[in-house]
Amino acid sequence: MAIPATITRTTADKFIGEVWSDGVLDAVEFAALIQTRCTREYEGVIKKGGDTVHVPRLSNLTTGVKAAGVDVSFEAITETEQTLTIATHEYAAFKLESIVQVQSNYDLMAKYQKKLGYALARGREVTLAGLISGLAAGQTLGTLGVELVADDFNAAWLLLAQAGLLESSPDPGSDFTLLLSPNAYAGILKTDVFINSDYNGDSSGKAITRAQVGSIYGANVFMSNLTKVNGVGHDCALFHRSCFALAVQNEVPVKAMYIIESLADAVVAHNIYGTTTLSYPPETPGGGAAVANRGVWLKTV
């Protein structure tokens, strides 16, 4: 028996319409954390111009025992300086043809303009994350590709205490940041000493029910997807606000113009900035080589 002819999606293809959603799927925008947790105190001095900020270092003086009839010895330390160079010029740009603006169902000009600010903020964040691996050799803990354990965090706290940052209080406070990759953060959610209320006194159960660890050894915990990928792991850190410096020389100006020969609108945003890891004179009287000891590089997953 012959099968009757049937109208299918294939034969009726020309009658079946396609619909475009009013919404779009925006790319996720990761949080820019380090630039809100580092020092910006040198930013004001370069707003009016210049490409280098010079910050002199000041060492501790040496004591001496005064002998009867012998004059005191005067000390003259040859001091050094920290420099912050404003040399990174980054931009984000797009050019949109007029025909696209006329025929598109979406306001692409407005949508891409919103992405300019994030692009520049992300650029600064990635640059700052790259500074972590430049901390002093003695300020390194953990192994790339291996989850951190409770002893690693305790050792990091100890290094900052030995640097003299915790003498006024063993509780670091708001100027300290524990920056972790999502992988490392997931690791501490499996560490009993940080999530069990028997240890941390938090009866709310936030660590498990909300995957939230507020602080470890008094340092505020932040999770960042923009930590630097280093081989099989990430560069995380425990640091004081005075560990890293960021100075943005201009406030992300947006420039736009119509390109006649292209029949298109060109839009560009740019910023000029500098970053550095701050090194400090040693506590030892008489001066000495400066050291970047206000942060700890945590090698992990």
193 in a structural domain: yes
| Residue 71 pLDDT | 96
| Residue 209 pLDDT | 46
**Global confidence as pTM:** 0.88
Residue span of the structural domain in which 218 resides: 34-44+81-91+108-254+266-281+290-300
246 in a structural domain: yes
pLDDT tens across 199-252, in order?
Answer: 555 555 554 444 567 789 889 999 999 999 999 999 999 999 999 999 999 878
| Residue 208 pLDDT | 44
Q: What secondary structure, in 3-state letters, does 47-89 show? A: CCCCCEEEEECCCCCCCCCCCCCCCCCCCCCCCCEEEEECCEE
| Residue 212 pLDDT | 64
| Residue 205 pLDDT | 52
11 in a structural domain: no
22 in a structural domain: no
| Residue 121 pLDDT | 96
211 in a structural domain: yes
| Residue 204 pLDDT | 53
In 3D, which of 127, 77, 139 has the Cα closest to residue 279?
A: 139
4 in a structural domain: no
Q: Report in angstroms the alpha-carbon separations of 204 from 150, 215, 292.
A: 21, 14, 38
Torsion of CA 108, 109, 110, 113, to 10 degrees: 110
53 in a structural domain: no
How far apart CA 164 and CA 245 sit, in angstroms, is 19
| Residue 125 pLDDT | 97
Span between the terminal Cα atoms of the chain, in Å = 67
- Low-confidence stretches of the chain (pLDDT < 50) are 207-210
Q: How many Cβ atoms sit within 10 Å of the Cβ of residue 237?
A: 26
Tally of domains in the chain: 1
